[in-house]
Amino acid sequence: MKFTEEHEWLRVEDDVVVVGITEHAASALGDVVFVELPEAGTTVSKDDEIVVIESVKAASDIMAPIDGEITEVNDALADNPGMVNEDPLGAAWFFKIKASDLSQMDDYMDEAAYKDMIG
């Protein structure tokens, strides 16, 4: 698993990358009340804003961590956005993206580096 400075986690499964937010991010946001996901089939570029998360504290965007095509979104989050707080590293993934270039993943931190960053 890899981590971004924006507190996203990235897990490679076969030829797709599953993306969610970390426990640290979910805690900082507070109770998540709304999640807007991209459409499956959407082509995105790294750093495109593709997910909107709203909590009782703030609104936040998730950026595309890599170039590629969104192959699947977690529709369960639309009905139950609180899953982000309950299981941020598991059931509350946001989307899956088929990478145009998996080497873009090399830019991200491993778990030890991420834990050092958040202190």
Tens of pLDDT, residues 22-80: 999 999 999 999 999 999 999 999 999 999 999 999 999 999 999 999 999 999 999 99
pLDDT bucket at 115, cuts 50 / 70 / 90? very high
Closest by CA to 94, choosing from 45, 30, 40, 57, is 40
What residues does each domain of the chain span? 2-100
The architecture in CATH of the region 2-100 reads: Beta Barrel (2.40)
Closest by CA to 32, choosing from 103, 89, 94, 82, is 82
Is residue 34 within 8 A of residue 18, CB to CB? The reply is no
